[in-house]
Amino acid sequence: MGPNQSITVGPNGVVILTLPISPSDALARALGGPRDTWAAGILAAALTVWDSPDTGQPLRRLLAEAVSDSGQGQALSEFLEHELIDPLAQRLDGPLPRRRATAAVTVVAGMILQRYALGAAPMKDLSQREVIATLGPLIDAALRPRPARSARGSGR
């Protein structure tokens, strides 16, 4: 999908969202390197798109509409599931890939909300490098499979 393309996400093929970028293409590029670069790649892709004057402004408007209109919010949620969570989950090895993909996307969504929608300090004041250093380990932890717990663990 190219830029400024409409995306069919609603019932009966109704076009609900028009995005200035293709999230699935950006995700594919972010996951193009070795596994240990995925978290930084995902954050760098999100930051680049949201910081760009060409794509950031339309995305901020879309986010504001999604927050204020439950129909738009539901459409955006379904779209993110289809375009980001599902493809990311398909790339993950180990147990609970969809849950782990959801956790990673949720960290990015929280960053977007803090930095771009709310303009909340300190997130809005961090450089891209600082955001990646701060949130990258959280996303990396979400993407990595956890070792199975022992049945005789310490109760944690």
Average pLDDT rounded to a whole number, residues 147-152: 59
- Which range among 54-63, 120-129, 147-156 shows the weakest confidence by mean pLDDT? 147-156
Cis preceding linkage at 122, omega within 30: yes
> For the CA atoms of 93, 113, 120, 124, what is the dihedral angle to 10 degrees?
60
129 confidence band (pLDDT: 50, 70, 90): very high
pLDDT, position 126: 97
Q: Tell me which residue has tokens 């408007």.
A: 61
9 confidence band (pLDDT: 50, 70, 90): very low
Domains, the chain, ordered by start: 22-143 (1.10.357.10)
pLDDT, position 155: 45
pLDDT, position 22: 80
CA gyration radius for the chain?
17
